[in-house]
Chain A
Amino acid sequence: MSHATTYRICPRSGLQLEAQAEKLILANAVAAVVFLLIGGILAIGVVLTRWPAVHWLEAATFYQVLTAHGLDMLIFWIIFFEIAVLYFCSSTLLRCRIATPRIAWLAFALMVVGAVVNNIAVYQGASSVMMTSYVPMMAAPSFYLGLILFAVGALIGCFVFLGTLVIARREKTYQGSVPLVTFGATTACIIAVFTIVSGAIILIPTYLQALGIVKHVDPLVYRVIWWAFGHSSQQINVAAHISIWYLVAAVVFGARPMSERVSRGAFLLYILFLQLASAHHLLADPGVSTEWKVVNTSYFMYFAVLASMIHGLTVPGAMEVAQRQKGYTKGLFEWLRKAPWGNPVFSGVFISIIGFGFLGGISGVMMGTEQLNMIIHNTIYVPGHFHATVVVGTTLSFMALTYYLIPVLFKREMIAPRLAKWQPYLFGLSMYFFCLVMMGAGTLGVSRRHWDMAFDGSALAYEWPGAAYMMMGLVGISGIAAIVGGAIYIYVTVGSLLWGKRLEGGAKSDKVTPIPPTAPAAAAQTYGSMGFVAPGTFVLAVVFLIAFVLYYFINWKYLSTLWGLS
C-alpha cells in the first residue's frame, strides 16, 4: 500500500495539513458555502412573505421556497461543513493522512449529486412538502432519492473520519488520548451515524411509497422515526459547534480545557442522551403515552441539557483562565473586556455561545417540557428557537471558524478585514433580535409555515392581535439585516478564496511530523479542585440560570390560565 502524499506545516498556525485531506476539506467547505448562498437567497423570499406589510410571494412559491430553504440550510450547508470539520479534526489535528481519500471523494460526489437532485425536485414544484415531508403528503420520488444519496455520502464521510482515527493511532502520530476537539468531533460522528441510519429507516420506505411499491407508511410511525433523524441531526450540529468553541478558545487564547474530565464527560452525555430528546417533537401527538413523553424529555433530555450547561461554563471559563494567566485579573470581567473583540474568530464564537445558551437553550427546554409544549407547538416560536440554536449556535460558529481557516487552509489573506470584523455583530445580533420577535409572535400563537396570517379567502378568518402583526413585521426587518450579514460572510469567504493575496503555504514534505508528546504539565495539577479559577464566568452562568428559572416558571403561569385539559 503506498501513501503517496505530502504534508506541509502552515507557518501561521503551526498546523500540519496533508495534501489529500486539505483538498477534501476545501471541497466540502466550498460546497457548504454554495448551499448557504442558495439557502440565503431563499431566505429573502421567506422573510419578505412572512412580513405582513410586504407579503411578497404567491402561496405556491412561498411553500416551495420554504421547503428548499429548510433543506439547504439545515441539511446541506451544515452537513457539508460538518464533514469538512470532521476531516479537519481527524487528519489535521492528529497530523495524520486521511483514510481512503478516493472513497472520501466518492462520498463527496454522492453528497453533491444528492443535494442537487433534491433541490431540483423541489424547484420542479411537486415537492413542496417542507423539510419534514410528513406522510401521507407525498413529494416526487427524486426528492427522497436525493436525500438518501446525500445521507449515504455523509455516512461514508463519517466512516472516513473513523478510519482516519484508526490510522493515526496505528501510525502513532500522537500519544495518549486524542485532543478534546477531536473527542468532540468523534461524538458528532457517532451521533451522525445514528441519525443517518434513522433517516434511512424511514426515508427508504417513503421513497418506495412515492414509487408506488409500498402501499402505506403510517403517519405516526413516520413522525416518531423521522424525528430520530430530524432532531438528532441538530445534535450533530451541537457536538460539532461546541468542538469548534473549544478549538477557537485554544487558537485565540491558547486556552486549555478547565478539566478534561468534565468536558469529555459532557460530550459522552450527548452520545447517551441527546437522541432520545427527539421525543419532544411528539409532545402534542396522539398515540404515544404520557410516560414515554415525560421519561424521554426529562430524564434523557435533561442529561443532555446538563451537558450543554457544562460546556456553556467550561468554554468561556477556559478563556477566562487563559486571560487571567496573561495578567487580565482586575475585577470579575477584565478578562472579557480585554478579549479580542475585533477578531471575528473570537467575536463570532462568543456571540454564538451567549445566543445559543440564552435564546436557544432556554427556549428549547421550555418547549421540551411536556405540558408547556402545548402553548407553542407548531407556532412560529419553534423556528424562533431553532434559529437561535442552528443559526446563532452552529452557523455563526462555522463562520467564525472559516475566518480562522482562510489563511491556514485557503492560504489566502482575508479580503475586506473591516467588513469581516463587523460581520459577526451584524449577523449575530440581528439573528438574536429575529429569534426574539419570532418567539414573541409564537407566544401569541402565530403559526409557523403559514403563508397568510390574514387568512385571505376564508369566511371565518381569525384576527391576530396587533402585537402579533407588529412582531411579524420586525421578523421581516431583522431577517433582512441577518441576510445582509450572511451575504457579507459569503463575500469575504469567496472573495478571499478567489482574489485574496496568496500566502506562503510552508515547505512540503512526504514525511509526517508526529505531534511531540506533551510533557505532563505541572499546570494540570496546579489548578483544579483547589481554587475558584473563573469567577467572572461563574457570575455569567448564574445570571443565565436565573433567567432560565424565571422564564421557565413564567410559562407555567401562562399555562395555568388555559382551559382545563386532561
Chain B
Amino acid sequence: MSAILPPADRLWWKHPIDRVEGTWIALSFVWCMIMFFMMVLWHVYGEQNLSTETYKTTPDAFIAKTQAMVDQYTVRTETDLEVPVVAPPPGSDVYLIARLWSFWPILELEKDKTYRLHLTALDYNHGFSLQPSNINVQVVPGYEHVLTVTPNQSGEFSIVCNEYCGLGHHMMVSRLYVR
C-alpha cells in the first residue's frame, strides 16, 4: 500500500476519494471553466484580440504592395539608409516587411484611428515586438498576416525583432510613430 507497490484493492478506480481531494477537484474545475469563459468573453467584449486573417503570399507580391504604399505616402526619410517614413491615411491597408535584418518602411499612424496592418517575413521567421507597448506577434515567411490595429497612445514606438533570425538579429529594430 504505497505508491511503489501494487494497490491493495485490485479495483483502484473504486478507491474512495477524501473530502480534501473532492473539494479541491471541484474548485480547480470551476477555475478552469472561468479561465475558458474569460477567453471567449474577451472576444465578445474585449478590445485586444489577435486577428488570424491570413493569406499566402510571396516576397515579390508583398514587396510590390509595400512599394506602392511607400511611393504614395512617404513624408520623409530617416537614418543614413534613408528608410522612408510613411503616413498612410486612417482606415487604409498598411504594409510592413520583416527581413534580414531590418523592418521596412517606418510607419506613421494617427492616434485612435484604425489601420489594417499587413505583416510578412521575406526570408526567415521574424518577430514583431512593439515596445514599450509590449505587443508581440510571430511573423512567418510565406504568410501575410493582417491585424487591425488602433493605437491608443501617441509618441515614438519601437519594433524589435524577437524571433532569432541569425547573426544580425540584435540589429533588427525599427520605429513606429503615432501622432
Contact = CB atoms under 8 A, between A and B. Distances in A.
Interface of A: 59-60, 63, 93, 130, 134, 136-137, 174-181, 218-220, 223, 246-247, 249-251, 254-265, 282-290, 293-294, 297-299, 302-303, 305-306, 309-310, 313-314, 317-318, 365, 369-371, 374-379, 443-445, 447-452, 455-462, 464-465, 515, 517-521, 523-525, 527-535, 537-538, 541-542, 545, 548-549, 552, 556, 559-566
A535 B170 contact: no
Given A294-B40, A518-B5, A563 B140 contact: no
Contacts of A174: 6
Interface stretch (B25-33, B61-69, B88-96): B25-33
Given A287-B54, A377-B138, 9 more contacts: A220-B143, A298-B39, A443-B134, A449-B164, A460-B79, A462-B160, A531-B19, A565-B148, A565-B149
Q: Which of B10, B119, B125 has the most CB of A within 10 A?
A: B125
Given A220-B140, A250-B4, A284-B138, A445 B19 contact: no
A25 to B, nearest CB: 15
Contact of B173 (A63, A294, A458, A538): A458
B140 A137 contact: no
Nearest to B53: A286
Given A286-B140, A286-B145, A563-B135, A531 B18 contact: yes
Contact of A369 (B35, B79, B152): B35
Contacts of A60: 167
Contact of A378 (B32, B79, B136): B136
A541 B24 contact: yes
Contacts of B50: 283-284, 290, 370-371, 374, 565
Given A256-B2, A459-B80, A378 B163 contact: yes
Contacts of B164: 63, 130, 449-450
A377 B36 CA distance: 20
B134 A444 contact: yes
A155 to B, nearest CB: 26
A293 B51 CA distance: 12
Given A63-B164, A541-B24, A545-B27, A259 B6 contact: no
Nearest to B164: A449
Given A176-B10, A177-B7, A565 B48 contact: yes
Interface of B: 1-10, 12-25, 27-29, 31-33, 35-36, 38-40, 42-43, 46-52, 54, 78-81, 83, 114, 119, 123-125, 127, 129-138, 140-145, 147-153, 158, 160-167, 169-175
Nearest to B132: A445
A176 B9 CA distance: 8
A444 B158 CA distance: 13
Nearest to A251: B4
A409 to B, nearest CB: 15
Given A287-B54, A306-B28, A559-B48, A538 B23 contact: yes
B143 A287 contact: yes
Contacts of A521: 1, 8
Contacts of A443: 134
13 contacts: A136-B124, A179-B7, A181-B4, A260-B7, A260-B9, A261-B17, A290-B43, A298-B39, A302-B36, A369-B39, A371-B49, A528-B15, A537-B20
Given A379-B136, A565-B51, A298 B36 contact: yes
A294 B52 CA distance: 12
Contact of A563 (B150, B163, B173): B150
A287 B133 CA distance: 24
A332 B160 CA distance: 50
A259 B17 contact: yes
Contact of A560 (B9, B47, B135, B148): B47
